Amino acid sequence: MAPRALGVGMNFLRSPRVWLWIAAAIVVVNGFFPALWIFFTSLKLEGELTRLPITYWPQHPTFQNYLQAFREQPLGRYFFNSVVVGVCSTLLCVGVASLAAYALARLQVPRRGLILSLMVGISMFPVASLMVPLYQTFTELGLRNNYLALILPHAALSLPVATLTLVSFFAGIPRDLESAAMIDGSTRVGALWRVVMPLAAPGVFTAAILAFVNSWDEFLLASTLLPAKAMRTLPVGIQLYQGEYSFPWPLISAALVVALVPVALIIALFQERVVGGLTQGGVKG
């Protein structure tokens, strides 16, 4: 009986289904673990967090840390700031990118290759290098700690990738549709608005998601250009939770979860679009 049971065990490992499950588990655990761990941490009170041996599963799960995170720091304000900068920079970026991408995909543009290369080149500029002159310029203009000081850079930083994504989308829309509308008496701008834009909407949406996530995640410029407490975005505000000597982990973990919910929702809802946008921008450059 025993050898037979062992044989069954081995057969179990020989089944390709099992290996598929193990392989999938590796990717899923690798991707989800840090976010899950910080969620579990956020449900533990200070007493549980500073006890040895550490607990994995929360012993007395509670949402008290969340209340405290909102009470002790202007977390709601940080969230609001991130939304304002994220939404405005995304709209600006996608609007400007749509116009440029249409011209690059459809019209006779002299030195088109050079313009595209320049855009890719600009998207590789180190943010740390742009930070110093932007700090000087926005300080001189009196715009430091004004939303504009972060909206403009965030829109510009996502603009090259958004434009390149949209160029390939516009190029995929049959020209005949546009010509037909123009023969029917529509102007080129009219045809663009009524015929091309609705067809390009999925591309515009993809570009918008990427721009928003980039803005939501950005730290270096946000910490330099919007340093005032009331103007901080989530990455800046939460980073500064760490006092010089104390590490208020219950608060930080709760705040992190709050800050991660919007991006987690976006990628969960629009995963295929995000993957398409990322790989297209990356592979086609």
Partner 1 sequence: MIRSERRYRRSFGDLSEGALAFWLLLPAGLLLGLIALYPVGRLIYTSFFKQRLSEGPQATFIGLANYAQALADDRFWNAFWNTVKIVVVTVPGALVVGLLLALIANLPFRIKWPVRLGLLLPWALPLIFVGLIFQWFFDSQYGIVNDVLMRLGLNREYWLIQPTLAFWAICWTIVWKTSSFVALILLAGLQVIPSELYEAAEVDGASRWQGFWRITLPLLTPAILVALIFRTITAFQTFDIPYAMTKGGPGTATETLAMYVRTESIENLNFGYGSALAVLLFLVSLAITVVYLRYVRGDDG
Binding of partner 1 by 76 (CB under 8 A): no
Stretch that binds partner 1, among 31-39, 67-75, 169-177, 200-208 (CB under 8 A): 31-39
Q: In angstroms, what is the minimal distance from the CB of 64 to partner 1?
A: 19
Binding of partner 1 by 84 (CB under 8 A): no
* CA-closest candidate to residue 94, choices 159, 147, 148, 149: 159
Binders of partner 1 among residues 148 to 177 (CB under 8 A) are 152-153, 155-157, 159-160, 163
* CA-closest candidate to residue 161, choices 100, 112, 242: 100
Binding of partner 1 by 80 (CB under 8 A): no
Residue with smaller CB distance to partner 1, 2 or 283: 283
Binding of partner 1 by 278 (CB under 8 A): yes
Name which position in 11, 59, 137, 179 contacts partner 1 (CB under 8 A).
137
Name which position in 2, 27, 183, 228 contacts partner 1 (CB under 8 A).
27
- Two structure tokens written together for 103: 């011209």
Whole-angstrom Cα Rg for the chain: 25
Binding of partner 1 by 285 (CB under 8 A): yes
Residue that is written with structure tokens 């009331």 in the block = 230
Q: In angstroms, what is the minimal distance from the CB of 150 to partner 1?
A: 11
Q: Is the dihedral of CA 22, 25, 29, 31 positive or negative?
A: positive
Q: In angstroms, what is the minimal distance from the CB of 181 to partner 1?
A: 12
State the Cα angle at 182 between 180 and 185, rounded to 5°: 115
Name which position in 124, 142, 243, 245 contacts partner 1 (CB under 8 A).
124
Binding of partner 1 by 136 (CB under 8 A): yes
Binding of partner 1 by 75 (CB under 8 A): no
Q: How far from each other are the two terminal CA atoms of the chain, in whole angstroms?
A: 62
Contact 73, 241 (CB under 8 A): yes
Binding of partner 1 by 216 (CB under 8 A): yes
**What is the total count of residues that contact partner 1 (CB under 8 A)?**
100
Residue that is written with structure tokens 């939404």 in the block = 87
Contact 280, 168 (CB under 8 A): yes
The residue type at 162? A
Name which position in 238, 251, 254, 258 contacts partner 1 (CB under 8 A).
238
Helices 75-106 and 64-72 meet at what angle, rounded to 10? 80
